[in-house]
Amino acid sequence: MSTALVTGAGAGIGYAFARRLAARGHDLVLVGRDAGRLEQFAGVLRGAHRVDVEVLPADLTVPADLGRVAARLADPGRPVDLLVSNAGAGIAGSFVGGDLAVELARLDLLVRAVLVLTHAAVPGMVARGRGAVVTVASVAAFLPGGTYSAAKAWAVTFSTSLALELEGTGVTATALCPGYVRTEFHERAGIDVGAIPRVAWLQADRLVADCLADVARGRPVSIPGRRYRLAVALLRHLPLRATAVAGRQRLRMRER
């Protein structure tokens, strides 16, 4: 039976991944900041699916915590076959005149933690000849929408580059690029979602199912929802000034 480690497993997309993987028979390592919530979820998953669930509380912006999670991923005696780097947070407000400490903390979470954990997990997967890495990015990666978009663009480029490097090893890398998903994310980021049309929303469970299907196919980028795939295809062919309109709209929504 294989083991999956999911960061940001306490809610939203992370917990949807944990539920789906447990239902498929995967043992789990749940990583997040809220130990109480993780323990509660772990109990539910153990009871419903009879899988082993390990709880690993960690704040991935804290070097010591990040190091503990990396060590768990690199432990040859307890191999992890699927890493889901989902932990994330939005960045409210503009970069100019903004709080540099907040920006650096988000950079640690969205970029540095992904890099460190992937670096810890992949060598063991390659040695075993199997495994997968899923990095949760965003359709924001394709928009000039501030440092959040920049971090997600890094995640997409990192994942696609890693996918090429891993060809022939039995290990895959996939960047998941969702649009708006009904989770706690927007509330925590202070984003006003009142103006977002109903048709724009994705459901976390369906998104995860679609992503795991793309992982099984070895696709380096997973964009759930036909409307978002069409939007990204269009954005890739528009001039920068045109895509900046959508990027500015995203920034205004974060500032409300």
Q: Is 228 a catalytic residue?
A: no
Alpha carbon distance 155, 150 (integer Å): 9
233: Cβ contacts below 8 Å, ≥ 6 apart? none
Distances (CA, A) of 23 to 17, 92, 209: 10, 35, 12
Q: Report yes or no: 225 and 202 within 8 Å, Cβ to Cβ.
A: yes
Nearest to 70 by CA among 115, 20, 125, 4: 115
3-class DSSP string for 171-238 = EEEEEECCCEECCCHHHHHCCCCCCCCHHHEECHHHHHHHHHHHHHHCCCEECCCHHHHHHHHHHCCC
Query: Among the options 15, 148, 180, 228, which is catalytic?
Result: 148
Which residues are tagged catalytic? Answer: 148
